[in-house]
Amino acid sequence: MTWPPSLQLIGSKALGGAERWYQRFACALAARGAPARLGLRRDGELARLDLGRLPVHPLPFRTAWDPLSRRAIDRLIRQTDPAIVQTYMGRATRLTRARGRAVHVARLGGYYRLAPYRHADAWVGNTRGLCDWMIAEGLPAHRVFHIYNFIGPARRRTAYEIDALRASLGIGAEPWILLTLGRLVPVKGHRVLLDAAARLPAEIDGRPWRMLLVGDGPLRRALARQAADLGLQDQLIWVGWQSDPGPYLQLCDLVVFPSLDAETLGNVILEAWAWQRPLVTAAFRGAREIARHGEDAFVVPCGDATALARAIEAMLGDAGLCRALVARGADRVDREFGVEPIMEQYLELYQHLARG
């Protein structure tokens, strides 16, 4: 089946979960020979990343109301004549108006205020719960489509590279390595995670532990103060934002994902499964939809530092449980959240919308 030509528009300046998904989707389109073009903010960080060598059109995206940006988008749609214009986040969506044959698809990865999205022709939500909410908020059910995110296969590094990474972080061979991924913003639950870390013993199953925090954001200083107050300075390593967290996932022994209930999907769950790492996750709404406690993850209540600490201890002390959860998670990624099944759903959606 042939991909209809598409234009993928995003107005972000900084990098986050939505931008990492955009990058993965662009590369997947390129790998399938899809006739896709990218419209990016000209001073944004996405333009520095690998985007599959698809044609990139720099756009202003200065504000959500910028008339110059709207005219530039209109001009680009007329020039490229796509069948599908897919927008991400509120800024790009608000500024876009479909022209000619183009069908405007707004992709949502969160429970955003819907006013900037209602003028689109169709909507994609990355969880069933999100799609149900959009329909309950008045969007027409026959134009709301559910497609999960995909996660690509793990690109493993050599043992030498992983040993070098461990050395650069100042971690010896003995400690357990715990990993959390995500922007340092309230919904990610880092405050709860630090409270849980303070409840952990100095050694678990005879080994000390260290925790890598991969991500950056406005809570960085406040979280550092909290860590200092809790006496965790020697056990935490602040890694910062990483465009490719793969080596850290390969290095770690356990992924901990403490997000609060407002988290929509939680790509970290998929990343842990793809990298075959055991996972402790809070039961936020995305996790309740895709994770299964005792089958592919250890799931604890949101905001419960005591339960989170107990789960970390339980997982690190039970190698058999970890192996079982990892095997099931890896199987689910292959069948449900891999590149092929998700891109097949996007191809079917694009063809359906292009036919009218």
Looking at residue 99, its pLDDT comes to 84
Looking at residue 276, its pLDDT comes to 98
Q: How confident is the model at residue 120 (pLDDT cuts 50, 70, 90)?
A: very high
One-letter amino acid at 130 equals L
Q: What are the C-alpha distances in Å from 303 to residues 36, 200, 226, 293, 339?
A: 42, 16, 16, 17, 32
- What would the CATH number be for the domain defined by 159-336? 3.40.50.2000
On the question of pLDDT at 1 being above 80, the answer is: no
> Dihedral through CA 298, CA 241, CA 56, CA 70, nearest 10?
90
Rounded distance between C-alpha atoms, residue 246 and residue 243, angstroms:
9
Rounded distance between C-alpha atoms, residue 127 and residue 142, angstroms:
16
Residue 228 corresponds to which tokens in the numbers above? Answer: 């200092």
Closest alpha carbon to 352 in 133, 129, 150, 121: 121
Q: Specify the 3-state DSSP secondary structure of 34.
A: coil
Q: Are strands 207-214 and 203-204 parallel, antiparallel or unpaired?
A: antiparallel
Among 64-68, 85-89, 164-168, 295-299, name the one with the lowest average pLDDT: 64-68
Neighbours of 15 (CB within 10 A): 20
Looking at residue 14, its pLDDT comes to 86
For residues 152 and 339, the answer to whether their CB atoms sit within 8 Å is yes
On the question of pLDDT at 246 being above 80, the answer is: yes
pTM over 0.85: yes
Angle, vertex CA 322, rays to CA 238 and CA 234, nearest 5: 25
Rounded distance between C-alpha atoms, residue 108 and residue 145, angstroms:
10
Q: How confident is the model at residue 15 (pLDDT cuts 50, 70, 90)?
A: confident
For residues 345 and 352, the answer to whether their CB atoms sit within 8 Å is no
267-277 CB burial, b ≥16 within 10 A, e <16: bbbbbbbbbbb
Burial label for 256, CB within 10 Å (0-12, 13-18, 19+), is buried
Residue 50 corresponds to which tokens in the numbers above? Answer: 């690998």
For residues 198 and 225, the answer to whether their CB atoms sit within 8 Å is no
Rounded distance between C-alpha atoms, residue 253 and residue 232, angstroms:
19
Q: How many CA atoms lie within 13 A of 279 on its CB side?
A: 35
Who's near 113: CB < 8 A, 6+ residues apart?
90
For residues 282 and 303, the answer to whether their CB atoms sit within 8 Å is yes
Tell me the domain boundaries of the chain: 6-150+338-355, 159-336
Q: How confident is the model at residue 356 (pLDDT cuts 50, 70, 90)?
A: confident
Mean pLDDT, residues 189-193 taken together:
98
pLDDT tens for 79-109 read 999 999 999 999 999 999 998 899 999 999 9
| Fold match, 6-150+338-355 / 159-336 | yes
**CATH of the structural domain 6-150+338-355, one choice from 3.40.50.2000, 3.40.50.720, 1.10.3720.10, 3.30.479.10:** 3.40.50.2000
For residues 45 and 18, the answer to whether their CB atoms sit within 8 Å is no
pLDDT tens for 273-282 read 999 999 999 9
Who's near 307: CB < 8 A, 6+ residues apart?
300, 301
For residues 215 and 184, the answer to whether their CB atoms sit within 8 Å is yes
Closest alpha carbon to 212 in 185, 174, 242: 242
Residue 212 corresponds to which tokens in the numbers above? Answer: 């890598």
